Structure 1
Amino acid sequence: MVDLRDNLRARAADLGFTVCRFASAAAPWSAGERLAHFVEAGRHGDMGWMETTLERRAHPTAMWADARTAIVLGLNYGPDSDPLPELSDRSAGYISVYARGDDYHEVIKGRLKTLAGQVAARLGAEVKVFVDTAPLMEKPLAQRAGLGWQGKHTNLLSRAHGNWLFLGVILTAAEIEPDPPETEHCGSCTACLTACPTNAFPAPFQLDARRCLSYLTIEHAGPWPMEFRTLTGARIYGCDDCLAVCPWNKFAEASREARLTAREALVSPRLADLAALDDPAFRALFSKSPIKRIGRDRFVRNVLYAIGNSGDPALVGAAERLLNDPSPLVRGAAVWALSRLDPNGFTNQREVRLGREEDEAVRAEWHGLALPPLAGESGPAIA
């Protein structure tokens, strides 16, 4: 007789999932306590939703009391080769590998719903589907199910699939025998910690999100502290450094056939083209992309910080044009980019521009004032 788990794994594979495993959703764990300490230390930055949903995130049953089993699924999105050499082209923007294709939330959600419907029909038990946006801690569940473990960079990594797995979870009220959990296999390696451009890891297994370029490019709404503007280099959406340097990625080759396809336009896009995007053009370029969610102004802010780091005098014009942008966020970033690329031009324009500028944050940029750096004090690990 075919084992229930084997049957569901086969169905998951038919839907394109790379891996499917099972864990108890009701057993106690310490992940909720670790997350509470993370938020208490303020390391979640502007992500206020982590604080407001903290109690619901503490444990799967805190969100759904009837949850008994977690079916945890992974979908490989790894690149064909190391993406980090792309960063050497400072006139192109670097977009994190996960965001180069269609929005993974939508890609996975449809497949999860299909599988969840099959689970409910077979077991006669209620199910709920989760893909990242809901207050469910997928990474601890994935480790409990044996997909991988949370490495020193706090991300999930796998001996079989490296660092490149999208996660989705189906919670069910049915009892299904769990798979063995995974243990930590980082050993003495610290490659991910030393690779971080902004020193966002106060210690192994600890993350200060306020210093993370993924957080800054995506979650942070305002101008960045000066410290991080120069360190971002060409990274305009997300950061892959800690993932890409992990030695375990060499074992991800076996699942290459399951990988998602990147859009050619989102691999090393030219900064000059991105700086010219107005809102309709931004929405068109990033249709069905997760990048669309941060909005044009925040994205162009990121592009301008990369322009300021480019050292390319051909991009001076792009920065100058955006000094007149309707968005204060964009204007302020354009001021900084101009000051880096063309100090003489910056000085020549400053007094005239200051006389016209009403936004205090933009005026501060003209005066060379910047937000203070964010302290990376020691503290507990993120769950």
Structure 2
Amino acid sequence: MINQKNVTDPIKAIDLSSLSENIKLWGKALGFQKVGITDIDLKQQEGKLQSWLDNNYHGEMEYMSKHGMKRARPDELLPGTLRVISVRMDYLPENAQFASTLKNKNSAYISRYALGRDYHKVLRKKLKQLGQKIELEVGQLGYRPFVDSAPILERPLASKAGLGWVGKHSLLIDAKAGSWFFIGELLVDLPLVIDQPVEKKCGKCVACLTICPTQAIVAPYVVDGRRCISYLTIELQGPIPVEFRKAIGNRIYGCDDCQLICPWNRFADTTEESDYQIRQQLQNRSLLALFSWTEEEFLSYSEGSPIRRIGYQRWLRNISVALGNAPTSEAVVEALTNKLAENLSDMLNEHLQWALAQHQDQIPVFNERLNQRLIKAVEKGLPRDA
């Protein structure tokens, strides 16, 4: 809990204007590309949040509804909060290879933010260092860092702090840097000088709405999470609805399409943070190569990565769908049937059977043994046209 500053605190002795500017300099020295400051008034967001929840657009993400309007009230999250210091850190890795990976249906597409180290750890550490730096300057300080880890409306706060505007795909956009960046917050009990929001510049553009493979952006600024590929491949615990499997293509962890099409991302720079560069185990990997990982290999290769949170079963679930969408080959069918024979779980088996069904009629015959295994596997699963 933040300690409320009482009337005897020497607030007046602090040059809040100079301190506010210094905080931005300190933040940039720590590796943040932009730092802004805002108050905690999010009353205008409460109606939008409630409407989104009422429509069940959060799907299985119960943590979105669990805290109600607390998300729009930072001082309820941390009593005593007066200001939010919002930060931006770019994450676009070098050699991101968006188009080539999506075009090659035998390749695994992983959202570019997840190719390196878990951003939660990186940003939180730096935000804590920023809080400590401020405390050295002002004495006792109530502060707490957050990185996508608490019931707080991060993007509206970042928008109020002047870090950009919320685009029609619901992500934050900076006119000079696009949207390939993470944001985080440092809640403090100092009445710092606040920054002003920037003008929204999406204009009449609806490219992100039309490009979305599952049409998850149901209206400008409104995303139905239940349809979003990021939700389906990361947040969803159970089976991926059959209606979305074809649209997922070769995306096995997240989706970047709405950012790829956004014209503002032509201004985006690659990150200077080494932790966000692509891990060797994920660089230019085929679906079959990642599908062959044992659970021990998955845990080892995903250590310190955001990918680990979905676990081995959902990792295989996602790749199974992608293999169902891949070009038919003996290697693909062999891998799917072998994995089905392991009988790891009913949920995974159902996706393996669906994937095999997509290949059954694509070529006349494999070798006799494999073809019989394929027919047997499909007969136990869904209809071929599911």
Paired with 1:310 and 1:350, the residues of 2 have a C-alpha distance of 16
1:327-374 deviation digits (Å, cap 9, x = unpaired) = 22221111111111234789955885599xxxxxxx6x345596xxxx
Paired with 1:157 and 1:308, the residues of 2 have a C-alpha distance of 34
**How far is the alpha carbon of 1:65 from its aligned partner?**
2.8
Secondary structure of 1:10's match?
Answer: helix
Secondary structure of 1:170's match?
Answer: strand
Match of 2:145 among 129, 141, 156: 129
| Cα pair 1:84 1:240 within 8 Å, conserved | no
Paired with 2:165 and 2:239, the residues of 1 have a C-alpha distance of 34
Match of 2:72 among 37, 52, 58: 58
Secondary structure of 2:268's match?
Answer: helix
| Cα pair 1:55 1:62 within 8 Å, conserved | no
**Residue 164 in 1 paired to residue 180 in 2?**
yes
Question: Which stretch has the larger CA shift, 258-267 or 204-213?
Answer: 258-267
Match of 2:118 among 103, 116, 123: 103
Q: Counterpart in 2 of 1:112?
A: 127
> Which structure 1 segments of 5+ residues have no match?
356-362, 371-383
| Cα pair 1:319 1:334 within 8 Å, conserved | yes
**How far is the alpha carbon of 1:194 from its aligned partner?**
1.3
Output aligned runs, 1:292-307, within 5 Å.
292-307=308-323
Identity, in percent, stands at 35
Paired with 1:353 and 1:309, the residues of 2 have a C-alpha distance of 17
1:28-66 deviation digits (Å, cap 9, x = unpaired) = 432232111111111111101111122321321231231
Q: Counterpart in 1 of 2:158?
A: 142
Paired with 2:248 and 2:289, the residues of 1 have a C-alpha distance of 19
| Cα pair 2:169 2:223 within 8 Å, conserved | yes
Q: Counterpart in 2 of 1:286?
A: 302
Paired with 2:163 and 2:212, the residues of 1 have a C-alpha distance of 24
Amino acid corresponding to residue 242 of structure 2 in structure 1: M
**How far is the alpha carbon of 1:181 from its aligned partner?**
1.1
> Which structure 2 segments of 5+ residues have no match?
1-14
| Cα pair 1:18 1:258 within 8 Å, conserved | no
Amino acid corresponding to residue 352 of structure 2 in structure 1: A
Paired with 1:24 and 1:230, the residues of 2 have a C-alpha distance of 44
**Residue 327 in 1 paired to residue 327 in 2?**
no
Task: Say what the alpha-carbon RMSD is for the aligned residues.
Answer: 2.2
| Cα pair 1:200 1:207 within 8 Å, conserved | yes
| Cα pair 1:298 1:329 within 8 Å, conserved | no
- TM-score, normalized by length of structure 1? 0.88
Q: Counterpart in 2 of 1:252?
A: 268
Paired with 1:216 and 1:244, the residues of 2 have a C-alpha distance of 19
Larger gyration radius, structure 1 or structure 2: 2
Secondary structure of 2:183's match?
Answer: strand
